[in-house]
Amino acid sequence: MACVECHTEPGLGGWIQSKINGVRQLYEVVAGTFPRPVPPPDHSLLPSSNDTCLRCHDIAPLLAGGGPIRLVLRAEYGLDTESTRQTVALVVRPAGFGGTGATVGVHWHVASHVDFLAADTHSQSIDYVSVTNPDGTSKDFIASRAITQSEDVQADLDRLTASDYSRRMDCTDCHNRVGHQAPDLSAAIDQQIDAGVISTDLPSIKAQALARLSVAYPNETAADNAIAGLQGFYAVNYPLIAQNDAAEIQRAVASLQTVYRLVATPDMLVTVATYPNNIGHQASPGCFRCHDGAHYRVVDGKVTSETIPSQCSTCHTFPQIGQNESGVLIGQRPDSHDDRLWVFDHKLSVTSADPTTQTCGACHTATYCENCHTTTAVQVSHDSMVTSHASVISQVGAAACAFCHAPAYCAQCHADPVMPVGPAGTGQSVVPSRDGSLPPVAVP
C-alpha cells in the first residue's frame, strides 16, 4: 500500500492538495527548516476513514454475531531484582460479547455516532463527548477538568465549542499509529527476555534496561555508551556476575542498543514518549482519554454523577496477572461480575482464597487467586482513596497500585511521573508526564 492511499483525499482535489503540500515539504527539507520531531498529522485534515481504512477492513464482521474473540496472552517481566516473569491474560470484548446482541466493546465507537471536542489537534485531551442515539436523542459528557459551575455548564460548553477542535470519532482516533507503529518500550524488552536474548540471571536487568532506554539522549553514541554502562553497573554492584557472565552482559547490551533504535531517533528529537499510541492504555492514556471515570453526563445543563463507563469489563475481561497460569473466561460471565465493585466486594461472597472448593473453580484454577493475594495489592483499602491514597501508597508501596493501574491512569491527575521503575519507594521513574516529556533518570 502506498502512503498516498491514507494521506491523500481521492480525486483531483486531493491530488492538487498533495502536490502543494509536497512543494512545501521539499522547501523545508532543502532549507533545513522541517520540524524536529515531525508532528503527527492533524487527523481532521486526513481523508475520511471511509475512503481509507474501510476500503479494506470491513467493520461488519466485527459487529455481526458477537464478532471474533481475541485472547491476549503474553509474558511480562517485573522491575524487581529477579525481573520476575508474570503472565498477562485477558479476552478482548468484541461487539455483542456474550451473545447479548447489544453493541458493546471496542468497535462500538465506530458503529455508533460519537462526536467530541478535544483541546489539541491530535485528540490527546478530550473535554466533551456526545453520543447520538438511533432515535435522535443524545447523551453528553463533560470532563471534570473543564467544569467551572456544575449546576450550569452552558458557559463551559460555549467556551469549549469556541476553543476546542470538533471531531466525529472514527478508526484513526484509536488506531492513530497505523503505518507508523513503534514498539512499546517495556514490551520490546520483555520480548527480548522471553526470546532468551537477555538473561534474567543478570540482577535488575529489566529495571536497568527500562531506565537506560527511556532517557532523551542527544545522539545514538551517547545512548550506546549509556547502555554499555551496564557492564560498569555489574562490575560495581555484582563483581562476580560481571566476571562470570560477561558474555551475557554483552549480549544484553547489544540487544538493548538495537531496541533503542526501534523506539527513539535522537537526531529528530524523538523519544519513547513522542508519539503516543491510543490503542489500549498502558504506555499512554489511550482509552482513558474518555474512559477515565471523570467524564460526567450533562442533563438539562447540570452535571450528574453518571460517567462514561470506566470499569475493565467494558472492553475486556478483568486482566489475570501473575506468575501462575490461569484459565481465561471466554463465555458468558456471571451476573455478579458485572458489578463495577466486584473486584473489591467478591470477598463477601467467597469462603477462601481457594477457588476449587467453590463455584469459582468452574473458571478459575487453584493458583489463580494467588496471583493477587500474594501481593500487597490486597492490603489496599479503597475507602476515601481520593484524599488518602498518598498515605496508603506509602504504606504498601506503589507496586500495589501498578498491579491494577497502568501509569497512564495516575497521569490523569498527576502532572509528574509517579510510578516507580525499581522497588516501591525508590522514587525512580521513567513514565512520561502528561505533556510527553521524560523525567531525568540517574544512570550509573
Q: pLDDT band at residue 427, thresholds of 50, 70 and 90?
A: very low
Beta strands, E only, 64-144: 70-77, 85-92, 113-118, 126-132, 138-143
pLDDT at site 423 = 35
| Gap between the Cα atoms of 238 and 251, Å rounded | 17
SS3 labels along 360-403: HHHCCCCCCCHHHHCCHHHHCCCCCHHHHHHHHHHHHCHHHHHC
For the ranges 199-213, 391-405, 416-430, the lowest mean pLDDT is seen at 416-430
Whether 426 shows a pLDDT value over 70: the answer reads no
Beta strands, E only, 285-368: 295-299, 302-307, 320-322
Across the range 95-105, mean pLDDT stands at 48
Q: Is the peptide bond before 37 cis (omega within 30 degrees of 0)?
A: yes
For the ranges 20-24, 121-125, 127-131, 415-419, the lowest mean pLDDT is seen at 415-419
| Contact in structure between 416 and 434 (CB atoms under 8 Å) | no
pLDDT at site 420 = 43
Across the range 200-204, mean pLDDT stands at 96
For the ranges 39-53, 111-125, 144-158, the lowest mean pLDDT is seen at 39-53
246-263 vs 220-228: helix crossing angle, rounded to 10: 150
Q: Does the pTM of the predicted model rise above 0.85?
A: no
Residue 285, C-beta contacts closer than 8 angstroms, at least 6 positions apart = 124, 276, 292, 408, 411, 412
Whether 321 shows a pLDDT value over 70: the answer reads yes
Q: How far is residue 258 from each of residues 192, 200, 223, 264, measured CA to CA in Å?
A: 11, 18, 11, 10
| Contact in structure between 379 and 401 (CB atoms under 8 Å) | no
pLDDT at site 101 = 45
Closest CA to 213 of 226, 199, 202: 226
| Contact in structure between 385 and 293 (CB atoms under 8 Å) | no
In the sheet that 85-92 helps form, which strands lie side by side, from edge to edge?
70-77, 85-92, 320-322
| Contact in structure between 325 and 365 (CB atoms under 8 Å) | yes
Whether 81 shows a pLDDT value over 90: the answer reads yes
Whether 330 shows a pLDDT value over 60: the answer reads no
What is the length of the chain? 444
pLDDT at site 6 = 82
pLDDT at site 315 = 77
Q: pLDDT band at residue 65, thresholds of 50, 70 and 90?
A: low
Whether 333 shows a pLDDT value over 60: the answer reads yes
Query: Grid coordinates standing for 141?
Result: 459528557
Provide the residue ranges of all domains of the chain, joining segments of one domain with +.
4-63, 108-173+285-307, 185-268
The residue ranking higher by pLDDT, 13 or 230, is 230
Across the range 204-230, mean pLDDT stands at 95
For the ranges 250-254, 256-260, 272-276, the lowest mean pLDDT is seen at 272-276
Across the range 33-51, mean pLDDT stands at 84
Q: What is the signed CA dihedral for 316, 399, 282, 325, rounded to 10 degrees?
A: -40
pLDDT at site 130 = 96
pLDDT at site 180 = 83
Whether 103 shows a pLDDT value over 60: the answer reads no
CA torsion sign for 120, 124, 127, 130 is positive
For the ranges 64-73, 147-156, 180-189, 285-294, the lowest mean pLDDT is seen at 64-73
For the ranges 35-44, 58-67, 100-109, 222-231, the lowest mean pLDDT is seen at 100-109
